[in-house]
Homo-oligomer: A and B are copies of this chain.
Amino acid sequence: MASITEVARLAGVSTATASRVLSAADYPVSVATRERVLEAATQLDYVPNALARGLLKSRVPVVGVIVHDITDPYFSEVVRGVEDEAAAVGYLVITCSSERDADRERSYIRLLRSVRAAAVVFAGSGLADAAHDAEMERHLAAMRADGAAVVHLSPHARGEPEVGVDNAAGIAAMVGELVALGHRRIAYLAGPGGLYVARERRAGVERGLRGARIPIDARLMIETTFDRAGGADGIDQLLAGGRPFTAILCANDLLALGALERLAAAGIAVPEQVSVAGVDDIAFAALTAPSLSTVRLPLRELGRRGFAHAVRQLGGERPRRQVLPTELVMRDSTGRAPARALPAGLRPAATRRPAKGAA
């Protein structure tokens, strides 16, 4: 690959001059010289070496995005947002699926530091773990000290995200909507208790319940993982638990999908016997049967804004925190509360359930 030296030679100028026309946007160079350099560059198919430049600036136009799993539609949507914005300014995006594993996260951060990524955005929420947090804080401090931008899109140990979403308000609104439909016994599949975003959403549910003067029944609040399997498990626990409920709110759509599947398998009609709702509005939420009512999060926009925030940081600004609005999307999985609450209202055929034992 041709280097700037070769371009300079072909154009009959010094590398300094070549560099100035090729990268310093507004450095004064005579028109004739400029043209000769440009001509030489295209002739040699010159592609600037970002490593050499990065070595000088100790920063390369690359942003790392730490996600739980790029395969999870929540995260691929956020990454796409980052990518759209990044592409516009010539940045490349590195995807890091950490599986919320401290070791993987650590090693990704290290690699990102080693390539001198200009920015890192944490798309997912932090997992409460003091030791890991402390170490992560050290890494991030080092990155920042080196001039890199760090942006969070979800709550974490070190506080609120630079660009986020009002999880609590969104889900509280959904509680309100369910209450308006006549539901008073609302079960909640809460996601992992250690995840900050899950805590925030749970707080929103409790706020919504309190707002409707509905006492919080701890036995209807189930901790789960954050995937479809968690949704199925949650349903099993609720049915086994024996506490009546007419609606199931899920801390995210994946949980709701799992719940819907499990409910269908048990022959329980949605929304006739139970209403189900989620949070996120991933692409597939509109395609389930019945289609899923959910709290829409502006995922792609979150990614876009997150990257834009990083760019501003890099530019020396101290951009202000942003909270993007959520939106209720009521589809077919929610309806008026039935006369008889589950699990008492279960049809005999559906009472079969795993022998896990009741609470």
Contact = CB atoms under 8 A, between A and B. Distances in A.
A287 interface: yes
A271 interface: no
A55 B70 CA distance: 30
Contacts of A60: 51, 115
Contacts of A79: 70, 95
Contact of A142 (B45, B69, B96, B104): B45
Interface stretch (A85-93, A179-187, A189-197): A85-93
A132 interface: no
Nearest to A75: B76
B1 A47 contact: no
B92 A70 contact: no
Contact of A115 (B51, B64, B69, B108): B51
Interface string A66-90: 0001110100110110010001001
A54 interface: yes
Contact of A76 (B54, B71, B92): B71
B92 A47 contact: no
A1 B146 contact: yes
Contacts of A47: 110, 113-114, 142
B62 A71 contact: no
Contacts of A327: none
A116 B50 CA distance: 8
Interface string A19-48: 000000000000000000000000001011
A70 B111 CA distance: 22
A15 interface: no
Contacts of A94: 62, 92-95
Contact of A80 (B48, B69, B113): B69
A200 interface: no
Nearest to A289: B289
A283 interface: yes
Nearest to A115: B50
A131 interface: no
A339 to B, nearest CB: 26
A97 interface: yes
A73 B284 CA distance: 11
Contacts of A248: none
B115 A1 contact: no
A342 interface: no
Contacts of A112: 92
Given A283-B71, A288-B287, A93 B95 contact: yes
25 contacts: A1-B145, A1-B146, A47-B113, A48-B114, A49-B55, A49-B58, A50-B115, A51-B115, A52-B55, A70-B76, A70-B79, A70-B83, A71-B73, A71-B76, A79-B95, A83-B97, A87-B104, A90-B111, A92-B96, A92-B108, A92-B111, A92-B115, A93-B94, A284-B284, A288-B289
Given A51-B51, A79-B95, A94-B94, 7 more contacts: A47-B113, A49-B114, A52-B55, A55-B55, A69-B80, A71-B76, A83-B96
- Which 4 A-B pairs have CB atoms at the shortest separation, nearest pair first? A289-B289, A50-B114, A50-B115, A51-B54
